[in-house]
Amino acid sequence: MALTKEFDVVVVGAGHAGIEAALSAARLGSRVLVITTNLKRIGYMSCNPAIGGLAKGHMVRELDALGGEMGMAADSSCIQFRRLNAKKGPAVRGSRSQCDKDLYSRYMSNILNNEHRIDLIEAEVKGLLLEKGTCRGVIVGDGSQVLSRCVVITAGTFMNAVMHVGREKTSGGRVGDKATSGLSDQLRAEGFQVHRLKTGTPPRLDANSIDFSLTEPQGGDEIFYPFSFRSHAQLALPQVECFLTHTNEETHDFIRKNLHLSPIYSGEIEGKGPRYCPSIEDKVVRFATKSRHQTFLEPEGINTNSIYLQGISTSLPAETQDQFVRSIPALRNVKFLKFGYAVEYDFLEPTQLKKTLETKGISGLFLAGQINGTSGYEEAAVQGFIGGVNASLMAQGKGEFTLGRHEAYIGVLIDDLVNKGTSEPYRMFTSRAEHRLHLREDNTWDRLRGQSIGLGVLSLKTTERLEALKSTREALKLRLQKKVIVPNGLTQEKITQLGSSPLLKPTSLASFLKRPEIKFDDLYHFDPGLSEFGVEARESAEIEIRYEGYIKKQMEILEMVNRRMEIVIPEDFDYSKIQGLKVEEKEKLSASKPRTLADAVRISGVNPSAIQILFIYLKAHKQNPTAKRSPPPSSEVLG
């Protein structure tokens, strides 16, 4: 391989992180080289063929507002859209797109290949060119050197990766793609902390061999909310159904009898797996009293018979998988297209990174994606964007770009990683964000417009369109605040018909909308012109008005907690009795025994919401923190 020119940024890998890193760097004017071991697997969905979900959908919209591409790819390949938690509060709703995985990959491949500042080559990066603590480029498999001002490593699950199916072990980051070697060994030699994690994937089944009459169809939503501000409001592809079924006691019995063959339970796999996406082996062991577990049959595309068996990630031997999957009535005669397997791989402790995702130990070297201990396409993509942006800015001698916890879930993610680290695959949840009432999908542009415009990745045309939509939302909110319902015979009769109590005085539409029994559509009786506003503008205005008081209250609690972080926690404090804490949080708090709230907030896996719950509990129950330990003089004691 002969490459004579020097690049501004070299991106190692072309998965979800690598794509966003390359595009963001190129769109900021940098000359970029993408090196991947398989050009046919650009943006490949190795596991679930879906984008978004709870908190993840927020990050995809944030990425889009900043100029990323994942939202557009998801919208263009969407074969089923659903808004999760639609009946709950707006902060915890999440958009999810079931995607055609081949079309998604093809879209991303075309975008990369059509970007004139990006070159792509198929090769394996074996090492880094280092000079006096600075990264100067990479060394590829044939020994060739590629010079660059900055390097972004987005190696995914491929560094020293081993795939497990029962007692069989093979080198590889996923079926059909080999593992990479050399990089993590060099980084370890340079003093970086390198550890192991584990992930897994379920079997793929032939749709023609499934009895769908024994399942429950799960259709998508009628209203489509695109991830991307650049997408059309209509879906481009035919929509499909997913199907719900369940495991049973026969399934669980097969699994229990063969646990000794699972590499997770035999000790073959050392790395921790994702807590919130456990294997079916883990589910059967950890939830032994449950007689069944949900399983979703999800089509992987519109031109394939491949069905993704969500909920049954496994690394048991192929013959055991065949047995326990066939114990599910709808799958009695199923044909396997691919058996499930686990992957164990290297990752770097993310506390070794700056918030720009540049390593603290080597200048010009950035890490993004699963190499930093995260789990999920969305978590990887947003890291890739931040890493690519900052690599490009550094290559051009410019400043840094970071996001705060109060601005975006992206900021929460990176702050958690670089300050707390992780010992297990990190997944984003709304509960990780203390500002979650503010960090909603509907106000993404309002939150990030200043950062996005200042950065300049997003095109001027898109920015102008988003600013126009913002003006529309503001005009609608102002209209609701100014338009007044005057109590009279006609209006009082209509209000009674709506199931609400009569007005005592002239009331603005905004104040009237705060009544829990009133819906936005009810306002049309008093101002028919409101129906002319778009659905997203109406929804955003309604949320801002309804939850104004809750948002203010949350901010007051946050400020109070932040002022009193030195509250002492009793040494014998029983976390198990506090309702609202997750099992993970109870486990980690009990094990760490933090001395103060400030100590507790630094524990990986303990979310800001848990700190608020703990603070309120301590305050309400007036715990005596001097029971078994004496607080330092500067500490505040509740008593």
Give the residue-averaged pLDDT of 136-156. 97
Is residue 637 over pLDDT 70? no
Q: How far apart are CA 503 and CA 492, in angstroms?
A: 7
CATH superfamily placement of domain 564-621 = GidA associated domain, C-terminal subdomain (1.10.150.570)
Q: How far apart are CA 432 and CA 554, in angstroms?
A: 14
Q: Are 242 and 298 in contact (CB under 8 A)?
A: yes
Amino acid identity of residue 300, one-letter, is E
pLDDT tens readout for residues 463-503: 999 999 999 999 999 999 999 999 999 999 999 999 999 99
Give the residue-averaged pLDDT of 606-616. 88
Per-residue model confidence (pLDDT) at position 632: 36
Q: How far apart are CA 273 and CA 157, in angstroms?
A: 12
Per-residue model confidence (pLDDT) at position 630: 37
Q: How far apart are CA 639 and CA 622, in angstroms?
A: 5
Q: How far apart are CA 320 and CA 560, in angstroms?
A: 54
CA within 13 Å, CB half, 370 = 26
Confidence band, pLDDT 50/70/90 cuts, at residue 629: very low
Per-residue model confidence (pLDDT) at position 618: 86
Give the residue-averaged pLDDT of 249-272. 92
pTM: 0.91
CATH superfamily placement of domain 7-200+345-455 = FAD/NAD(P)-binding domain (3.50.50.60)
Window from 15-29, 502-516, 608-622 with minimum mean pLDDT: 608-622
Is residue 620 over pLDDT 90? no
Q: Which has more pLDDT, 22 or 431?
A: 22
Neighbouring-strand partners of residue 78: 99
CA torsion 310-311-312-313 (nearest 10°) is 90
Per-residue model confidence (pLDDT) at position 626: 37
* In the chain, ranges of CATH 3.50.50.60 domains: 7-200+345-455
* In the chain, ranges of CATH 2.40.30.260 domains: 204-229+238-341
Q: Are 319 and 184 in contact (CB under 8 A)?
A: no
Q: What is the mean pLDDT of the chain?
A: 93
Q: How far apart are CA 365 and CA 136, in angstroms?
A: 9
Q: Are 350 and 202 in contact (CB under 8 A)?
A: no
* In the chain, ranges of CATH 1.10.150.570 domains: 564-621
CATH classification of 482-549 is 1.10.10.1800, yes or no? yes
Q: Quote the tokens at residue 234.
A: 């209509």
Per-residue model confidence (pLDDT) at position 3: 58
Domain 204-229+238-341: give its CATH architecture: Beta Barrel (2.40)
Amino acid identity of residue 508, one-letter, is S
Confidence band, pLDDT 50/70/90 cuts, at residue 1: low
Phi and psi torsions of 562, nearest 5°? -60, -30
Is residue 631 over pLDDT 90? no
Q: Which of 102, 101, 84 is nearest to 93 (CA)?
A: 84
* Three-class secondary structure assignment of 50-115: EEECCCHHHHHHHHHHHCCCHHHHHHHCEEEEEEECCCCCHHHCEEEEEECHHHHHHHHHHHHHHC
Neighbouring-strand partners of residue 196: 346
Per-residue model confidence (pLDDT) at position 279: 94
